[in-house]
């Protein structure tokens, strides 16, 4: 993904969803807002479940010319004709994924709060790196990607950066000048009207 002039939206699916209804919810959001990419981020490792979900979402995203990547499953990304893979292990499998999927595929890397991991992922060939969460929480050790990290990255590094995890209107507003994409997931899917929830975030970006 190329770095855009202003931040773009990168949607992340919930870790679980009903296949009978979620593709329609996703379609309504994509029809309401401009979205650069969708990440299929199911927590299951069941191949059949992942494959059926990917097939259903690919119909929705590709009809709207939106890229679809899958979390971690490089072989499935290739087999199912997806646009790429999002890796959760920092830089460790970026080269392997790039070799498997080719130069045209999207290979992204989640690097937590580590500038070093981000640089390593970039050197290994990642198309983007993501940092997060962007606010402290009670989960894990409470560490978070501070605004300074995004500011430094945007000034020094050409590889696009994604901010994800714990986003709200205030953090979106403050990070907008120094990030390329906002990774939006539970922030909207837990709302009754995800499209309206996303619209509020987009309004904060500008």
Please state the domain extents for the chain: 8-205
Q: Is 141 exposed, middle or buried (0-12, 13-18, 19+ CB in 10 A)?
A: exposed
Query: Could you confirm whether domain 8-205 is CATH 3.20.20.70?
Result: yes
Q: How far apart are CA 124 and CA 49, in angstroms?
A: 30
Question: pLDDT band at residue 196, thresholds of 50, 70 and 90?
Answer: very high
- Provide the b/e sequence for 31-53 (b: ≥16 CB within 10 Å): eebebbbbbbbbeeeeeeebeeb
- The stretch 116-138 carries a mean pLDDT of 95
Question: pLDDT band at residue 5, thresholds of 50, 70 and 90?
Answer: confident
**Which of 165, 185, 191, 190 shows the shortest CA–CA distance to 42?**
185
Alpha-carbon separation of residue 186 from 101, 104, 126, 178 (angstroms)? 28, 29, 25, 22
- Predicted pLDDT at 88: 96
- Predicted pLDDT at 119: 98
- The stretch 171-186 carries a mean pLDDT of 97
Mean pLDDT of the chain: 95
- Predicted pLDDT at 3: 76
- The stretch 10-18 carries a mean pLDDT of 97
């Amino acid at each position: 993904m190329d770095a855009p002039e202003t931040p773009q939206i990168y949607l992340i699916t919930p870790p679980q969803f009903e296949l009978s209804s979620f593709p329609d919810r996703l379609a309504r959001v994509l029809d309401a807002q401009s979205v650069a990419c969708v990440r299929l981020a199911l927590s299951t490792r069941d191949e059949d479940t992942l494959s059926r979900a990917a097939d259903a979402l690919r119909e929705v995203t590709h009809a709207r010319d939106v890229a679809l990547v899958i979390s971690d499953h490089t072989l499935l990304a290739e087999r199912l004709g997806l646009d790429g893979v999002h890796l959760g292990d920092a830089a460790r499998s970026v080269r392997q994924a790039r070799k498997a999927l080719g130069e045209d595929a999207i290979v992204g890397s989640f690097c937590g709060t580590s500038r070093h991991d981000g640089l390593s992922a970039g050197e290994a060939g990642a198309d983007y790196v993501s940092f997060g969460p962007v606010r402290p929480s009670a989960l894990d050790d409470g560490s978070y990607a501070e605004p300074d990290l995004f500011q430094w990255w945007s000034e020094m590094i050409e590889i696009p950066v994604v901010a994800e995890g714990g986003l709200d209107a205030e953090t979106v507003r403050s990070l907008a000048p120094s990030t390329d994409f906002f990774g939006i997931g539970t922030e909207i899917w837990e709302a009754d009207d995800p499209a309206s929830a996303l619209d509020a975030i987009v309004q904060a970006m500008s």
